[in-house]
Structure 1
Amino acid sequence: MSDPAVAPGSEELIAERRGPAQWIIFNRPEARNALTWSMYSRLAELCEEVNQNREIRVVVLTGAGGKAFVAGTDISQFRAFKTEQDALDYEASGNRMMSTLESVRVPVIAAIAGACTGAGAAIAAACDLRIASPSARYGFPIARTLG
């Protein structure tokens, strides 16, 4: 699996057309592609765009940097939570993104290298096909907190 050559500090989620394939690259390699709130929203928007574009035949999700597909949600963002509603809004955003991803009309492939944990593992599980490099490592840390 080749490592997408995407520079840190540029767009967090990159949409790139390659013929009939829509590539979506999680681009926060310095944070192991941990998701920000805007990445949740943008992924849902891109999935909706795919459903409107009949030229797209497949979607490929992958992570930049080669060390992670997606290492969950960026937990530093949780510090900004002040109320229970903040947590409920976060869950609703995640649910919207997952529902939209699951409703994509074309096959969605997760091309996984490195860490694939938390929200990243959930995204990969929602894809139609997962292709993993030998470096792929999966984790569901929420399972430890739920007992």
Structure 2
Amino acid sequence: MNVPDHLFYTEEHEWVLIEGNTATIGITDFAQEALDELVYVEVDTVGEDLDRNDVFGTVEAVKTTSELFLPLPGKVLEFNSELDENEGDNPTLVNEDPYGKGWIIKLELADADDRDGLLTAEQYQELIS
């Protein structure tokens, strides 16, 4: 299972890359594998200020739909256009490259130093083992 060391993780199986005041967020390799092939990714919260643990979108696989929970408070800046059914419409990018081209949103952080509730790669590896 791929768990890059430079990212943070959540117990809900999302990953977070923090760069300055912006975070890029997606679902982990573990999550995409458990869901199997994704057929739809929906994010209708772009432009909204959300709190930690608010639902920011959903991912739909052949057999299930799962909510996506915001790991940190902030403003949703962008939804990956490659995943958007109105633009790129390629949700399988999440399966193919969950930590790269399969990112889901970019977030303007309310507090760039806030890491509450985030797990290190080592802690996340322990969680999924």
Question: TM bucket by the smaller chain?
Answer: under 0.3
Query: What is the TM-score of this pair, normalised by structure 1?
Result: 0.25
More helix by share: 1
Q: Which has the higher contact order (CA 8 A, sep 6+)?
A: 2
